[in-house]
Structure 1
Amino acid sequence: MAEMTAADAAEHLQVSQRQVRRLASNGVLATTRVVGRTLLLDAASVHQLAGRVRHNGRPWTAATAWAALALLSGQDAPWMDSAALSRLRHRLRGARATEVAWLARGRARVHQMRGWGQDTGLIPTGVSVLGHPQLAALFDLSPAERGADGYVAARHFNDMVTSLGLFDDVEGDITVRVVPDDAGYALDRPLIAAVAVDLSESLDTREAAAGERVLDDLLDAFRDGRAVRRLDEAR
């Protein structure tokens, strides 16, 4: 695995080292290890981010990010007031998939982990939903034979780590996405837009392309006022 220091990543991405560390803590950049005070990153994740279209503007709060993903998934976002929802709908009508993925990067804090338990405490996303034939067909991807990927509420994270015997490991095969407790989203079902965004950030180019394509399709449907089939209905 090729590595890159935070300083080199900052120069490559044309951002500050502080921003690089924030991107790493949010799971946008993959951390390989820390040597002394030097943060080392997976170079592939840096090059992938550099290859995306960068967008101006601060990332959405977790509440706004989940409201956007809910709207694109054909669901409501009752935790947002009407004025905020109106502004968000206007933003989404003019957005592209890469912009939504960039702005929604604060939706969760990502932990790469390993353990001996099962992933029953996670709301599945990314490759973990591809075991269902209809969802695999939607993304035109085959089921992945690797690990697990899913969301958990911050208030349940520590209990889940204990019950499943999880520990942080940058090469672990369990991706745990911890959603802030003030995000609004109840984490009671997967959201198709969240699955698409998570796949669009994959280091696997085919998965990334599939996620971006589906997210663009959801944006087109939102602009046209077409109904979106809920992911839990497809399952």
Structure 2
Amino acid sequence: MTGDLFAALPREPDIESITEGATLLRAFVSDEEAAALVAAIDTVLAHSPLRNMQTPGGFRMSVAMSNCGQFGWVTDRRGYRYQTLDPLTGQHWPDMPAAFVALAQRAAAAGGFAPFLPDACLVNRYDPGARMSLHQDRNEEDMQQPIVSVSLGLPATFLFGGMERSDKPQRMRLESGDVVVWGGPARLAFHGVDVLRDGEHPLTGRCRYNLTFRRAR
């Protein structure tokens, strides 16, 4: 698979309703903006490298993660939580790049959740074969604040379900530059990412980055 498959004509931004409180913003991030975001990701990861965290049950996550912002989300045998220090470096998480904050605020407004000031950004890297099982984002203190999720690089199949894990999720293909925003009645919806297929993308190579913006405190 070559990069030419992904180097198609620019896509026009489009807003799609997933369910009440959840919106898919297709082609929301331009190619130029996406390149700047990936450069900012490299800067973040130079300070807090990616790592495959362990769940409380002892399983190694297939998605590699890091954080930036005032708080970072971590998981280990002690549980899921936010904390101000990177357990890998012992230092504070890197500051959230201004381009990240601006994008998160713009996307939240487009999804109907302005104003939004994220204090945490989870940086996920999916390599081929990685996946994220259905889960809820429920470690944040204020459930009135939305989640903003940005896709960069290889396409992925996003799963968006209901309030119960057993609810059959909707399946939607996310391309580089797509953004999903959810909150309000959809804030605790189960969601995940199906197994990432192998491929090559001109922006990220053989991987997909996901930026998940939250208000932790």
Fold conserved (TM > 0.5)?
no
Q: What TM-score, normalized to structure 1?
A: 0.28
Higher strand proportion = 2
Q: What TM-score, normalized to structure 2?
A: 0.29
Q: Which has the higher contact order (CA 8 A, sep 6+)?
A: 2
